[in-house]
Amino acid sequence: MSEILAAILLVLGASIALIAAIGVARLPDAFLRMHAATKAGVVGAGLMLLGAGLAFGTGEAWLRVGLIVLFLLVTVPISSHALGRAAYRGGAPLWPGSGEDALAGVLPRHSIDHAAGATPAQEDTAMPAPALPPVSPRRVLVALAQGEASEAALLAGLDAVAGRETEITLLSLLCAPSLSRTGPVPLGGAHYAKRLVEKRMASAREGAAALAGRLQAACEAQALAFSARHEEGDALRLLERTAAHHDLTLLPRAAWFDQAMVLPPGMAEARARGIAVPGLLIIGTDFEVPRALHFLHEGDAGSGEAMKRLLASGIFAGCPLLITALDVPGAEQMLADALALAASRGWQARAGHALLHPDHPVPETAFGGPTLAVIPARSTNASGAWRSLRQGPRSVLMT
Return the beta strands (E) in the chain as ranges.
139-144, 167-175, 225-233, 248-252, 280-283, 292-297, 321-325, 349-351, 371-375, 396-398
Beta strand pairing status for 396-398 and 280-283? antiparallel
Judged by beta carbon, residue 66 or residue 370, the one nearer other proteins is 66
CB of 154 to other proteins, least distance (A): 33
- Nearest distance, CB of residue 316 and other proteins, angstroms: 29
Minimum Å distance from CB 333 to other proteins?
Answer: 16
Question: Could you tell me the smallest distance in angstroms from the CB atom of residue 47 to other proteins?
Answer: 8
Minimum distance between the CB of residue 214 and other proteins, rounded to whole angstroms?
41
The binding site for other proteins (CB under 8 A) comprises 3-4, 6-8, 10-11, 13-15, 17-18, 20-22, 24-25, 30, 33-34, 37-38, 41-42, 44-45, 48-49, 51-52, 55-56, 58, 60-61, 64-65, 67-68, 71-72, 75-76, 78-80, 82-83, 85-87, 89-93, 110, 112-114, 120-121, 124
CB of 63 to other proteins, least distance (A): 9
Strands in 321-325's sheet, in edge-to-edge order, are 225-233, 167-175, 139-144, 248-252, 280-283, 396-398, 371-375, 292-297, 321-325, 349-351
Query: How many Cα atoms are found within 13 Å in the side-chain-facing hemisphere of 142?
Result: 31
CB 175 within 8 A of CB 234: yes
Nearer to other proteins, 21 or 103 (CB): 21
Minimal distance in Å, beta carbon 117 to other proteins? 14
- Helix, strand, coil percentages (3-state) for the chain, rounded to 5, are 50, 15, 35
Long-range CB contacts for residues 30-35, cutoff 8 Å, separation at least 24: 30/87, 30/92, 30/93, 31/84, 31/87, 31/88, 31/92, 31/94, 31/95, 31/98, 32/95, 32/98, 34/80, 34/83, 34/84, 34/87
Would you say 236 and 264 are in contact if contact means Cβ atoms under 8 Å apart?
yes
Residue 52 or 355: the one with the smaller Cβ distance to other proteins is 52
Q: Tell me the C-alpha to C-alpha distance, in Å, between residue 151 and each of 155, 173, 210, 214.
A: 6, 14, 12, 9
Shortest separation between residue 283's beta carbon and other proteins, angstroms: 29
Q: Which is nearer to other proteins, 77 or 370 (CB)?
A: 77
With H, G, I as helix, E, B as strand and everything else as coil, classify residue 314.
coil
Candidates 353, 321, 319, 315; CA nearest to 339 is: 321
